[in-house]
């Protein structure tokens, strides 16, 4: 079994494909500076188990 989850749980898997390392670095910097992405103000809707 690759993932063990309960009946009331859902497995989520995702990734981002950036066109280049430069675009990734610039985009990630903007994401990290965006207050809407603050984990203190906007916690994830799921746990990262």
Using pLDDT thresholds of 50, 70 and 90, give the confidence band for residue 38.
confident
Integer Cα distance of 12 and 10 in angstroms: 6
C-alpha distances in angstroms, 19 versus 2, 13, 27, 28, 41? 30, 20, 11, 13, 30
19-36 residue pLDDT tens:
999 999 999 999 999 988
What was the pLDDT predicted at 1? 58
pLDDT at residue number 14: 86
Over 80: is that where the pLDDT of 47 sits? no
Shortest CA distance to 27 belongs to which of 18, 35, 36? Answer: 18
Give the pLDDT score at 12.
83
pTM here is 0.58
Contact by Cβ (8 Å): 36, 30: no
């Amino acid at each position: 079994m690759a993932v063990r989850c309960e009946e009331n749980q859902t497995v989520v898997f995702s990734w981002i494909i950036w066109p280049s390392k430069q675009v990734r670095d610039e985009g990630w910097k903007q994401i990290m500076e965006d207050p809407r992405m603050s984990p203190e103000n906007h916690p994830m809707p799921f746990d990262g188990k």
